[in-house]
Amino acid sequence: MPGFILLTMMGCRAFVGCAGDLPSPPDQTEPIDTAPEVVDTADTGPVDTGPPPLCEWPEEEPNSTLGQAQELPMETWGCGTLETAGDFDIFRFSLESAGWVKVWVRGQDLGTSSNLQLTLDDASYDYTTLVTSSPGSLDPILVFPVEEPNTFYATIADQFYGYGEDYIWQIIASEAKAPVLWTGSEVEPNDGIQDGLLIETGDRMFGLIDAGSDADWFLVTLPEGVESVVTARIEAWNYGSPINARISLYDGSESRVATSAIGVNSYDLDPILTYEADADATAEGTVWGIKVEPREGSGGGLAYWYVLEVMVEMTDTGL
């Protein structure tokens, strides 16, 4: 049918074989053989009518210990099934140079019964992390920076210990670009307000919560005797970081005046804090502290990155 449409649109003159231009047939001295062609099927073997594989790198059991971890090439989809109670599958992949990496595990997006979780680590346990969902999906996505070549282990399991033929999953590890921008990076030690890193309004600071007990402090200067609005926001979870962060604001007397652990709604784990400071609020000091820390029960490690943006806007100049 496509060939017919093309022939009709372009006209016969564009083709040597159009009606009216065909050459006369040659004299036929031998009868035309109209017998059907006989095909020898003796060596063709049985036809495989099974379903196609779900990926180009299927799992190979057993793969439930670090020593049995199956190698997964970068940029390649692996897949498998949680076939028995308590089943989990482990892949290992390697990043050959510093950069960012994205690990994506799919189950819900495939329409399966899987409610998956991803546990990631390296041999030195510096990247220990657990991801159970991502923004808008129950499928885990993890995006994190790597400072040097390393090998990682990704463990796939069902959060509620489900198993069976329909508990199917897919995984891919790929190199990625940094998902956010920043203007500076935290400098350790900045674990207390006295060691806080002084920043300016509009700065975007990159940091790591490298342990569950870690806290990073930043200092910002408010205009003296002027009504101002302080806004601090985190960019992390919405961009693939496993961090579940909280921001707190401390005034010039080192008293906490505001805290936030959520963003635009209760499902947004990137907190936004806004505080209106009146003209008297800076009487005891114009340098205020901002604390970034994990929420109770949250972890930390080299995969737990964030970007903190701070803005100070004067709302009344006194004029």
Residue from 247, 311, 316, 248 nearest 280 by CA: 316
Beta bridge partners of 106: 170
Which CATH code is given to the segment(s) 57-176?
A: 2.60.120.380
Q: Say which CATH architecture domain 184-316 belongs to.
A: Sandwich (2.60)
E strand map for 87-215: 89-95, 99-106, 116-122, 129-131, 141-146, 150-158, 168-176, 184-185, 197-198, 204-208
Domain ranges in the chain with CATH number 2.60.120.380: 57-176, 184-316
296 confidence band (pLDDT: 50, 70, 90): confident
pLDDT tens across 75-109, in order? Answer: 999 999 999 999 999 999 999 999 999 999 999 99
15 confidence band (pLDDT: 50, 70, 90): very low
pLDDT tens across 196-214, in order? Answer: 999 999 999 999 999 989 9
Q: In the chain, pLDDT over 90 holds for what percent of residues? A: 79
pTM strictly above 0.85 = no
pLDDT tens across 302-315, in order? Answer: 999 999 999 999 98
What separation in angstroms does the CA of 198 have from each of 210, 226, 308?
A: 21, 20, 13
Structure confidence at residue 145 (pLDDT):
98
Strand, coil or helix: what is 215?
coil
Q: How far apart are CA 265 and CA 292, in angstroms?
A: 19
Structure confidence at residue 50 (pLDDT):
55
Is-cis flag, bond preceding 135, omega within 30?
no
pLDDT tens across 217-241, in order? Answer: 999 999 999 999 999 999 999 999 9
